[in-house]
A and B are shown apart, each in its own frame.
Chain A
């Protein structure tokens, strides 16, 4: 029995897989980046169908809207050209595609048959902002705070790497003489 939910779920799944395949097939980095955005948007649709509306919104805002903008930004700034095909890349394709298919089949088989997890009905798990907030600030408070410290360290690292190099005297060094 196909419900509307299931049809939509399969449609978003198809978009997701098609985007992922397109990401690999495309030669130009900007097309690959845009396919990745399509994958993320379709994934947000899947989250929404599973009842995790907050995760879906965050997926769009953070991944599709912010992180991928930076990807596109880098591609635009470097003006990265079309990818070259080398001998190595052909060998990788020859072994990579069957290997990946085998691997994903194996994972799917183990997950479905031997891990004891059952399929969850569409929309059965609550994912409203209230529930997620409650979980984050009560049950998982410590991991949440540790993550924030991790992010803080990453930010500080980025600031140190991006700031101007200093000479031992303490004055910022001149990068290039104009």
Chain B
């Protein structure tokens, strides 16, 4: 039964508020997790002072960012200097709108899908929004009027534009298999099992596609080992050298929100989204899909942090050579192979 319009608006507002709240909390605690895990990997404790296990550290950081002096250096191009962090954080948070995080739930006879909105070009929308997000970094670098910022901004935009091609191509294999751009349809196509015990996830049919996606995703989010845009040893802090206080925090939030989006996309496209063993009483059955979805995302974020704690940084020419000479041909071969296999 479709919802009446006022209930639909109410449901949308509640869903948006909840999803955004969860996303921002997740961003804050991914930072905490990263500090904690990298700390343990480097044989130290990470944050321990604020609250039990340092759990209140994100709150302390947030308050610190709010009360720091908001410096604007004298030689910046002011309109764009202010707009750049806003662009970065707005587009990083927008892509969560089309991410489905569970099946529909039924309240009072109405069926409400667990997703802010289901558009039939959901995947394309995410790619579009992330491609606009490049401007935040590029404009921050240019408008700061600082050579390190400019170099960082140029590196970041060149890197993101280059790896976007491999990222897009690595997803086409999945699209061919599921025949839809809608993320909900893609997840639903992964229900069930092969031979009764291996889940029908795309990772088992598209391992090369997943490898390409993972590599491109690291580069797109400017994370180690591809964090050339902010290589401290060469560029001070890259595109956000001239930013302080809340404006810097916005770039920080954008980076972690992008990580979460990328993890969501990997879960939805390659790891069956919210599919997983369902058991127990009805209330548990309603919660479990969302739990599986969150658990898979957590695994991805942990992998991100693990890689950060393990690998050194590439050189810039290595990064470009890897993207254009290895990853792109591999993604193309995977695409052609998948197309031939499906046509056959």
Report which A residues bind B (CB closer than 8 A).
30, 34, 37, 41, 44, 53-54, 56-58, 60-61, 64-66, 69-70, 72-73, 75-77, 128-129
Query: Contacts A57-B121, A57-B124 given: A72-B131 contact, CB under 8 Å?
Result: no
Does chain A have a CB within 8 A of B86? Answer: no
Residues of B contacting A34 with CB < 8 Å?
Answer: 80, 135
Residues of A contacting B141 with CB < 8 Å?
Answer: 76
Known contacts A69-B135, A72-B142, then 12 further A-B pairs from the complex at CB < 8 Å, ordered by chain A residue:
A30-B139, A56-B121, A57-B127, A60-B129, A60-B131, A60-B132, A64-B128, A65-B131, A65-B134, A69-B138, A76-B141, A76-B150
Does chain A have a CB within 8 A of B237? Answer: no
Stretch at the interface among B19-27, B99-107, B156-164, B293-301: B156-164
Residues of B contacting A76 with CB < 8 Å?
Answer: 138, 141-142, 150, 153-154
List 4 tightest A-B contacts by C-beta distance, closest first: A65-B131, A57-B124, A60-B128, A76-B142
Does chain A have a CB within 8 A of B119? Answer: yes
A129 to B142, CA, bound (A): 37
Are A57 and B131 in contact (CB-based, < 8 A)?
A: no
Residues of A contacting B48 with CB < 8 Å?
Answer: none
Residues of B contacting A60 with CB < 8 Å?
Answer: 128-129, 131-132
Report which B residues bind A (CB closer than 8 A).
77, 80, 119-121, 124-125, 127-129, 131-132, 134-135, 138-139, 141-142, 150, 153-154, 157-158, 161, 164, 168, 181
Are A69 and B127 in contact (CB-based, < 8 A)?
A: no
Distance in Å: Cβ of B344 to nearest Cβ of chain A: 17
Residues of B contacting A58 with CB < 8 Å?
Answer: 124
A82 to B3, CA, bound (A): 54
Query: Contacts A73-B158, A76-B142 given: A66-B153 contact, CB under 8 Å?
Result: no
Are A54 and B121 in contact (CB-based, < 8 A)?
A: yes
Interface majority SS on A: helix, strand, loop or mixed? Answer: helix
Are B124 and A72 in contact (CB-based, < 8 A)?
A: no
Query: Contacts A30-B80, A53-B121 given: A73-B154 contact, CB under 8 Å?
Result: yes
Are A61 and B127 in contact (CB-based, < 8 A)?
A: yes
Are B121 and A129 in contact (CB-based, < 8 A)?
A: yes
Question: Which listed residue, A37, A44, A61, touches B135 by the CB 8 Å rule?
Answer: A37
Residues of B contacting A54 with CB < 8 Å?
Answer: 121, 124
A174 to B132, CA, bound (A): 39
Closest to A59 in B: B128
A127 to B150, CA, bound (A): 40
Residues of A contacting B153 with CB < 8 Å?
Answer: 76
Query: Contacts A73-B154, A77-B154 given: A128-B120 contact, CB under 8 Å?
Result: yes
Closest to A62 in B: B131
Residues of A contacting B138 with CB < 8 Å?
Answer: 69, 72-73, 76
Distance in Å: Cβ of B280 to nearest Cβ of chain A: 39
A112 to B268, CA, bound (A): 47
Residues of A contacting B128 with CB < 8 Å?
Answer: 44, 57, 60-61, 64-65
